[in-house]
Structure 1
Amino acid sequence: MKILLTGATGFVGSALVTLLAPQHELMIVSRDPSKARQKLGHEHQYLASLDQLHHLNEIDAVINLAGEPIVAKRWSENQKQKICYSRWDITEKLSELIAASTTPPHTFLSASAVGYYGRQSQLAIDEQGIPHPEFSHEVCRVWEEKALAVADKTRVCIFRIGIVLAAHGGALAKMLPAFKFGLGGPISDGQQGMSWIHLQDLLRLLQFLLSHDECRGIYNATAPHPVSNAEFSKALGKALHRPSCLPAPAFALKVALGEMAELLTEGQYVLPKHALADGFEFRFNQIDEAMTDLFQR
């Protein structure tokens, strides 16, 4: 299968390249093809921009992971625009290329995030959950609309990603230094939901969506058992054999991070109802078994 992939040099994207490369031909879009080639290998085709393409007639599937990291910098108005348009523009361009194709790709997998739902207090929600209107929801809402615009031309699957767990990258890698020194703990009261997924399960889910023609629509890319922030902190401390009882006060986070602190002090308990209904089986269902796999091999 010939696959067009955006966001390939990111944390999830680079792991996906490793998974797909043995069986598929990859065309990778990167702003710096030479740097991407050094990281991902010389056997793939590289493009500096989608503007080099006029259609996707010879592409079998598109996987869209591109976007400015949402926690890279404090949310100034300029940074908010980067977060939005780094996702919206490339997704819109992909949809335009699919629409312009006489033999379009049969599958379009496009990322989103559980931030679509906004803050949900203690409510457990699936793909039918009613979102709370805020910045994270608006980013994801428009992002998804731009991909779903070509649902009449190709099979579109939107995967709303939770907190991706891996020892070498993502949100967990940012938490590790404090926890390894015994300085980790819950954020605020620790009751906010943390909808997580082991990196290997996320990759397996994307492979599942890619290969099952009956799959389409919205999928929560989260493990079946979301936990509170306090439970998450306890599981991480246990896996590292470190205490995890020092709380991070909400006001201090708001001073340090501004509006972005809401990603940490608010949350969601998100359930992957659609993936389970379609027959996908998670290898890591519980937070303790996921942490054990990552840190006690």
Structure 2
Amino acid sequence: MIKLLNKNCKFLITGATGFIGSRLCYELLEDGHQIVALTRSKNKISGHQNLIYINNLSEHEFNYDIIINLAGAPISVYWTRKNQQEIYQSRLKITAEIVEKIASAKNPPKLLINGSAIGFYGTSDTIIFSENSYCTKQNLFSQNLCKDWENEALKVQEKLRVVILRTGVVVGNGGGIIKKLSLPFKLGVGGFIGDGSQIMSWIHIDDVMGVLNLVLDNSSINGAINLCAPNACSNAEFSRALAKKFGRPCIFHMPKIIAKTLFGQMGEELLLASQKVAPHKAIENGYDFKYVDISRAIQSL
């Protein structure tokens, strides 16, 4: 659970009804903080005296201690041109609005935590990416999206502390990859994609909250921080761990050509390519990961 050193902070949180956002709101409310949640979703958290919902930034006075910007349309869909535009604009538009508000604020927040993803680095079968790594020059949609999203948030880094969350595959109940894959694996027809050798950089939802607690409490942390466990796994290892969780075999697999046909560019960039990312900054700042093994992480759910 999140337990901050500073109590009774006022947060603006976008993407508050998403997988990470909803868990974050719950923990911050439990810790006694006030939340203004910007969302257009109808799947809202049950009423709480310290929680206010707004549909746009102008609905509430722009007076916050901390902003956490996680808004964005789901990315795990077939990337038609229309879907790509929605994925891109849903992130860049609200970030630009927040940046504009911060730039003109007489009393700006002390911290902006902005979403991103490990897609920033590009893909590689051999490179281990850390926060100081240069990104590969591959002109991938996921990579360009992350670059532009981060650059928009960093426009106000001279005015306040800005932290960028480069998030990997989040493992947890109620959302993310586990929610998407649970049914086929429960039915015994789940399996790995391609030859299963591609590397996945993952993180348990409990450790997402733990690293966020670290970022919120440690004012020396700024810039990018990787949200992923120290030990990445292969897609085959992940699939076997999930099958074991449900007491089912892992004997099926989806050939690469089928994955490319079904999922298109999204499949090539997010499902078939390797990304091995190390959480150097979190570890250097003293964070002790609760889950470092994918099998144990999945069994905990």
d(CA) in 2 for partners of 1:125, 1:80: 25
Deviations 1:125-175 (A, max 9, x none): 111233232110000000000111111111111011111111321111111
Secondary structure of the structure 2 residue equivalent to 1:157: strand
Partner residue of 1:283? 290
TM-score normalised by the chain length of structure 1: 0.93
The structural deviation recorded for 1:40 is: 3.9
Question: What letter corresponds to residue 293 of structure 2 in structure 1?
Answer: Q
Aligned residue for 1:144, secondary structure, equals helix
Shift of 1:239: 2.4
Matched to 1:248, the amino acid is: M
CA distance in 1, matches of 2:217, 2:112: 12
Of the three residues 63, 66, 72, the one matched with 1:67 is: 72
What is the aligned length? 288
Residue-by-residue CA offset, 1:225-284 (whole Å, 9 max, x unaligned) = 011111111222222221112111111111112111111111201110111111111111
The match for 2:272 among 265, 274, 278 is 265
SS at match of 1:128: coil
Alignment counterpart, residue 45 of structure 2, candidates 27, 39, 45: 39
Q: 1:230 aligns with which of 222, 225, 236?
A: 236
Residue 42 of structure 1: CA displacement?
4.0
Pick the aligned partner of 2:94 from 85, 90, 93.
Answer: 90
Match of 1:162 among 168, 174, 185: 168
1:48 counterpart residue number: 55
Q: Which moved more, 1:181-190 or 1:222-231?
A: 181-190
The residue number in structure 1 matching 2:108 is 104
* CA shift for structure 1 position 182: 1.7
Deviations 1:101-141 (A, max 9, x none): 12211111111011111221232211123323211000000
8 Å contact kept, 1:122–1:193: no
SS of the aligned residue for 1:122 comes to: coil
Any runs of at least 4 consecutive aligned residues in structure 1 with deviations exceeding 4 A, and if so which? none
Partner Cα separation in structure 1 for residue 287 and residue 157 of structure 2: 22
Q: Deviations over 1:23-53 (max 9, x none)?
A: 2000111125xx35x5342421221102446
Q: What is the DSSP-based 3-state SS (H/G/I as helix, E as strand, rest coil) of the residue aligned with 2:281?
A: helix
Q: Is the 8 A contact 1:197 1:221 kept in 2?
A: yes
Q: CA RMSD in A?
A: 1.5
1:68 maps to a residue whose letter is A
Please tell me the residue identity of whatever aligns with 2:156. Answer: V
What secondary structure does 2:82 align onto?
Answer: helix
Question: Is residue 2:159 matched to residue 1:150?
Answer: no
The runs of 5 or more residues in structure 1 that have no matched partner are none
